[in-house]
Amino acid sequence: MLDSSVLRSLVWTDYRLAVLFTVILPLVLMVWAGLVDKNASIYHLFTIYWKIASLLMVTVYLMIGGLRISFLTALMARLLIPIALWFWIDLNEEIDEQPDSPLKLSFNAWRWSVTLYSIIGAAILIPSLGCAFGDSQFGTPQCQTWLEPPLLYKQYLHARYSHGFLGFFGIVGLLLYLASLAWFVFVRLGKQGRQALR
């Protein structure tokens, strides 16, 4: 188990990197691909990415609500993001066949970086998965450290709303996310396989 000060430093670093790698950079690259270079393949991959990465925002609201399941959704998001970025055969082939360009280089650098970030983040989170099981474990400093950044986010953007109210939106978001994921896995994946139909 990590020292509390080391864990706190890792958690805050993780959230800062999450803002950079999972929000700012993909947003910039998506605008670049969609509006500047008109690159349909990269743009389409970003639309898929945002659908999957929305679980990170759901996780933030679950953590604000103090819900233990947030530790499982955090791990799930870190595993699903790399899968979503590398899963599609047709998009990967189209991107690989494109001539070298600043957008292609930037996209590939980001894709490898966010994949590495997600894997390392999952490894850091795994020792805290016990937080998802049992109130006594959830109340420990190790678990509460993971809630500090979401609570600061709440303080800045949702100060007027209660933790329970925001947690409720996290639950609704999670239910919608799971329904969408189930539909994709059990219906769409069987029909189209690893082809990202437009």
Residue 182 lies in a domain: yes
pLDDT for residue 198 is more than 60: no
Residue 14 lies in a domain: yes
d(CA 121, CA 91): 26
Q: What is the pLDDT of residues 15-27, one digit of tens each?
A: 999 999 999 999 9
Instruction: Return the structure tokens found at 151.
Output: 């609570």
Residue 197 lies in a domain: no
pLDDT value at position 12? 95
Rounded to an integer, the average pLDDT of 31-53 is 95
Residue 56 lies in a domain: yes
Q: What is the pLDDT of residues 127-158, one digit of tens each?
A: 999 999 877 788 888 899 999 999 999 999 99
Q: Which residues contact 125 (CB under 8 A, 6 or more apart)?
A: 71, 74, 75, 78, 146
Helices (H), 19-162: 25-31, 40-64, 70-86, 89-97, 102-125, 135-138, 141-157
Q: What is the pLDDT of residues 55-113, one digit of tens each?
A: 999 999 999 999 999 999 999 999 999 999 999 888 999 999 999 999 999 999 999 99
8 A C-beta contact, residue 87 and residue 194? yes
Range of the domain at 36: 4-192
Residue 30 lies in a domain: yes
Number of domains in the chain: 1
Supply φ then ψ for residue 88, to 5 degrees. Answer: -85, 110
Q: HSE (CB half, 13 Å, CA atoms) of 45? A: 27
d(CA 29, CA 4): 36
* Cα radius of gyration rounded to whole Å, the chain: 18
d(CA 193, CA 31): 28
Rounded to an integer, the average pLDDT of 169-191 is 91
Residue 168 lies in a domain: yes
Residue 120 lies in a domain: yes
Residue 198 lies in a domain: no
d(CA 175, CA 70): 13
Least confident of 28-42, 83-97, 182-196: 182-196
Looking at residue 2, the DSSP 8-state letter turns out to be: -
